[in-house]
Structure 1
Amino acid sequence: MLDVRRLAVLVTILDHGSLTAAAKTLGYSPSALSQQLQRLEQEVGQPLVRRQPRGVTATEAGALLAGHARYILRRLRAAESELGELAGLRRGRIAVGTFPTIGTTLMPVAISRFRRDYPDVRLDVHSARFDELVAALQENTIGLSLLWDYEWNRIDEPDLSIIPLFEDPTVLVVSQDHRLGRTRHVTMSMLRHEEWIVRKRDHPVAEVLERSCRAAGFSPTIAFEANDYQEALAMVSVGLGVALAPRTAVQSARPDVRIVSLGQDAPSRRVVVAHRSDRVRPPGERAMHQILVDVAREQLVAG
């Protein structure tokens, strides 16, 4: 394997036509430069320059090798320039994961800010379910992702680095004409006679309801199982029942429903940002990470 630095020495010597001039340009002593040239000639097994009274000229092997060396050095300079653009966030591409309820609140603000600050970096955003996001992180198809968990089911993926962003409280959703529609805060014990709209049984918020009701000493009466939060809110709006939901899932709720605080009576979910711990993260990814942290902090203060 030829040494790139010695190839650069050869090109500089031939461009200047003199070891003395090349040594001055490269910051070597003439003897040190001569040693570098001799080592390169030993590596290729042929003389590369002809020493003449007034400088040096290339041998056939030297001219051949110098031509290839110039191409290699140009490509290295181009690589250095492009890496510098990536480091300076003047180009590049990153892929970020999110999930639907956060994709309508925190993520749009973060995307707008990233595009404003780094307009030359391509930002791809993928919304998916939890398992799909984890798989995409592990397969390196996305670099970082927003995820969530609850205290009884923490994310346990040894190859992922997990950084908490904020706690997303569980709130009560009622119709605008419900008896609690003008109440700011309720406890679960006040809801024992309510009928409930709940996400399908395999959804985490269904477990939140079961745990919250059990802690308050009753079992919930289920009136309807919804496929998504939009359907759940629609059923709540017509008085079919009340519902629990993470605050971010109903932050832009329908005008005909009301959001009521449950305080600590229902468990909150933790929203985190995750990335693979064994990767060297590109500058654009680190910048997006910081924006997510900043936006989460700002929304927490505003809320």
Structure 2
Amino acid sequence: MTFDVRRMLLLAQVARQGSITGAAAALNYTPSAVSQQISRLEAEAGQPLLDRRARGITLTDAGRAVLVHAERIDRELRAARTELDDLAGLREGTLRIGTFPTVAASFLPLVVREFRARHPGVELIVRSSRNAGLVELLDSHEVELSLLWDYEWRRLADPGLDITYLLDDPTTLIVSTAHRLAGRKSTTFAELAGEQWIVRDDHPVAEVLTRSCHAAGFEPSIAYRAHDYQEAQAMAAVGIGIALAPRLALTGLRDDVTTVALGPSAPARRILLATVQHHRPTPAAAALRAVFLATAANLRDAGGNLDHAVRRAAPRP
């Protein structure tokens, strides 16, 4: 036995209005159209659902049984509509995004703060990984959008992804405050040929160092292989060597180290935002993407000065 849900809802309207004429007026139908649809519902049920009398209609036992289910369906449909309206209006919902550690400690908090100020009902779930892991999360739809990065010599080209450029993150030199270059605004790799280096082991910044030193005509002398940027800073602080880091990785700079710019020719990674190609974004994802773009524009306008961007993005009273 199969019932047409629309006819069941029509029966519920007849019951609420107390007559076919009343239901027709409420729904802007003709009485004959309502009567025909109820007759078809009765045919589906295999028995009368309404007892038609001169003074109106009453529900039969079968009609009351169908009405119970029709009203339940009506409640569920209204609940579904409310939930969809809340999702579309960004009043509730969950959004899963991907990131990588250095940008999660710098740029991403600016975006999260602004998004939550605008849409406090949407829950953000963040997954952190390296590029390959983030692409896998996108491909498996475990995240809806993700931050990624690339360098000029190895551009990220995945035919399954839509990639949006956000900003450049230039490489910066880290030295002890007692180093000969401390206090300098900028330097070049040619000036660094005799230095000892601290490098992130098995990390893309190691390739940045090798490529940059080779382009300047020398082989870097490695004094220490670090596992994170805090470790690299600590070793630079005590004079073990100097280190390279993307600027966005240095929001927690120690007091006993300082940074020196490497000029316009410094290698820079691009910070990117990726989504799965041909995948229609949810309202929450579209809204978050807009916040990413606006926050990146603010940071570019601030000349990459993250502290200035943080002040600009701070919640307004």
Partner of residue 263, structure 1: 263
Normalised by the size of structure 1, how large is the TM-score? 0.92
For residue 164 of structure 1, report the CA deviation from its aligned partner: 1.4
CA distance in structure 1 between the aligned counterparts of 2:32 and 2:175, rounded to whole angstroms:
87
Q: Is residue 39 from structure 1 mapped to residue 40 from structure 2 by the alignment?
A: yes
Is residue 208–residue 266 contact of structure 1 (8 Å, CA) maintained in 2?
no
SS, match of residue 266 in structure 1 = coil
Partner of residue 160, structure 2: 159
String of CA shifts for 1:58-82, please: whole Å, max 9, x gaps: 2333222121111011111111112
Partner of residue 76, structure 1: 77
Question: What is the identity, as a one-letter code, of the residue corresponding to 1:221?
Answer: S
Partner of residue 196, structure 2: 195
For residue 125 of structure 1, report the CA deviation from its aligned partner: 2.4
Q: What runs of 5+ residues in structure 1 fail to find an aligned partner?
A: none
Question: What is the identity, as a one-letter code, of the residue corresponding to 1:222?
Answer: I
Partner of residue 287, structure 1: 287
Q: Is residue 53 from structure 1 mapped to residue 31 from structure 2 by the alignment?
A: no
String of CA shifts for 1:134-158, please: whole Å, max 9, x gaps: 2222333322221111122223333
SS, match of residue 259 in structure 2 = strand
1:195-274 alignment runs, 5 A limit: 195-200=196-201, 202-274=202-274
Partner of residue 170, structure 2: 169
String of CA shifts for 1:174-197, please: whole Å, max 9, x gaps: 221222222212222222222211
CA distance in structure 1 between the aligned counterparts of 2:243 and 2:17, rounded to whole angstroms:
80
Question: What is the identity, as a one-letter code, of the residue corresponding to 1:205?
Answer: V
CA distance in structure 2 between the aligned counterparts of 1:227 and 1:165, rounded to whole angstroms:
27
Question: What is the identity, as a one-letter code, of the residue corresponding to 2:290?
Answer: Q
String of CA shifts for 1:232-283, please: whole Å, max 9, x gaps: 1111122222222111112331122221122233321111122223544332
Question: What is the identity, as a one-letter code, of the residue corresponding to 1:192?
Answer: A
Share of identical aligned residues, percent? 49
Partner of residue 276, structure 1: 276
Q: Is residue 16 from structure 1 mapped to residue 24 from structure 2 by the alignment?
A: no
CA distance in structure 2 between the aligned counterparts of 1:75 and 1:279, rounded to whole angstroms:
28
Q: Which moved more, 1:73-82 or 1:7-16?
A: 7-16
Provide the alpha-carbon RMSD of the alignment.
Answer: 1.9
SS, match of residue 141 in structure 1 = coil
SS, match of residue 169 in structure 1 = strand
Question: What is the identity, as a one-letter code, of the residue corresponding to 1:105?
Answer: S
SS, match of residue 164 in structure 1 = strand
SS, match of residue 156 in structure 2 = coil
Question: What is the identity, as a one-letter code, of the residue corresponding to 1:20?
Answer: T
CA distance in structure 1 between the aligned counterparts of 2:237 and 2:132, rounded to whole angstroms:
31
Q: What runs of 5+ residues in structure 2 fail to find an aligned partner?
A: 304-317
Q: 1:279 to 1:45 in 2, by over 3 A?
A: farther
Question: What is the identity, as a one-letter code, of the residue corresponding to 2:218?
Answer: F
CA distance in structure 2 between the aligned counterparts of 1:81 and 1:260, rounded to whole angstroms:
55
Q: How many residues align?
A: 302
Is residue 98–residue 145 contact of structure 1 (8 Å, CA) maintained in 2?
yes
CA distance in structure 2 between the aligned counterparts of 1:46 and 1:16, rounded to whole angstroms:
22
CA distance in structure 1 between the aligned counterparts of 2:250 and 2:12, rounded to whole angstroms:
66
For residue 40 of structure 1, report the CA deviation from its aligned partner: 2.5
Normalised by the size of structure 2, how large is the TM-score? 0.88
CA distance in structure 2 between the aligned counterparts of 1:101 and 1:300, rounded to whole angstroms:
18
Partner of residue 127, structure 2: 126
CA distance in structure 2 between the aligned counterparts of 1:191 and 1:46, rounded to whole angstroms:
93
CA distance in structure 2 between the aligned counterparts of 1:149 and 1:182, rounded to whole angstroms:
30
Question: What is the identity, as a one-letter code, of the residue corresponding to 2:295?
Answer: V
Is residue 95–residue 126 contact of structure 1 (8 Å, CA) maintained in 2?
yes
Is residue 94–residue 123 contact of structure 1 (8 Å, CA) maintained in 2?
yes
